Amino acid sequence: MDTSFYTSFQPQLTGDGSDTLYSAEYGETFHSTFGAVTETEHVFLSGTGIKQRLAEGQSARVLEVGFGTGLNFWVTAQYSLATGARLEYVALEKYLLPAATLTQLNHDHLPAVAQDIRLAFLDWRSGLPDPLPGSQLHWCYDDSIRLDLVVGDATSVSIPPQDYHAIYQDAFSPGNNPELWTPSFFTRLFEVLTPGGRLATYSVKGEVRRNLAAAGFQVQKQPGPPGKREILTAIKPTPRP
């Protein structure tokens, strides 16, 4: 494992008061500098309909490409706890960040329930050695939330086939992680998404839209959060009777 990856990050304050990490290696932040939590809520939870689904008390299965700082998971999980709706969350991550890196981030603005989930996860993570590629780690919070972390290259690891209701496509940009934005990778995601399910992403590049369409998705532009004019949602069509 390339341990230099772990030392290339710097905490960075974003526009809504939440922190993110800046990667010197990629020249990118993990979340929008205009607001990390705001982006998570707008792009991923609202963009896929998962926020509404959990608010209605329906169980949800989410696949995330790029666990990163874990922010998308904390925010999603808080809605699960609010109604008791079961959340099964699978995240693909090439390098799982150590607890020492994640504890540098200030998330004091998060609701108390999200804080509790985050702190419980960090306590669990601090007791783990750095996982080897191909590892699958399992963590549960309360009776309603299950997190499965699949560590390794997302293009080659085995994705648990769960008929996901939503996919958060939150990898680094197509310029830095081109392999995670190809028609072949999007086809893998299409196959594990339930009919009517949605993929959401911050990137609206023409190549991304074309590659999603080539994989079978119906692609739509949506208004973006602060600092971002548009985002993408991609729907897996429901077969006609």
Q: How many Cα atoms within 13 Å fall on the side-chain side of residue 15?
A: 11
Angle at CA of residue 150, ends 68 and 89, nearest 5° = 75
Domain total of the chain: 1
Single pTM value for the model: 0.94
Name the DSSP letter for residue 110: S
Q: Which residue has the tokens 């609701």?
A: 111
Flag whether 240 is in a domain.
no
Separation of alpha carbons 115 and 24, rounded Å: 27
Separation of alpha carbons 219 and 234, rounded Å: 4
Flag whether 8 is in a domain.
no
Query: What confidence score (pLDDT) does residue 112 get?
Result: 86
Flag whether 30 is in a domain.
no
Flag whether 202 is in a domain.
yes
Q: At what angle do helices 183-192 and 206-214 cross, to 10 degrees?
A: 50
Per-residue confidence in pLDDT tens, the chain, 241 aa: 444 555 578 899 999 999 999 988 889 999 999 999 999 999 999 999 999 999 999 999 999 999 999 999 999 999 999 999 999 999 999 989 989 889 989 877 788 888 899 999 999 999 988 888 888 999 999 889 999 999 999 999 999 888 999 999 999 999 999 999 999 999 999 999 999 999 999 999 999 999 999 999 999 999 999 999 999 999 999 987 7
CATH code of the domain covering residue 137 = 3.40.50.150
Flag whether 94 is in a domain.
yes
Distance of CA 8 to the CA centre of its chain: 21
Flag whether 2 is in a domain.
no
Separation of alpha carbons 154 and 92, rounded Å: 6
Query: What confidence score (pLDDT) does residue 1 get?
Result: 44
Helix (H, G, I), strand (E, B) or coil at 30: coil
Flag whether 18 is in a domain.
no
Query: What confidence score (pLDDT) does residue 6 get?
Result: 53
Q: Pairing state of beta strands 145-151 and 87-93?
A: parallel
Query: What confidence score (pLDDT) does residue 5 get?
Result: 53
Range of the structural domain that residue 53 is part of: 35-235
Flag whether 1 is in a domain.
no
Q: Pairing state of beta strands 87-93 and 136-141?
A: unpaired
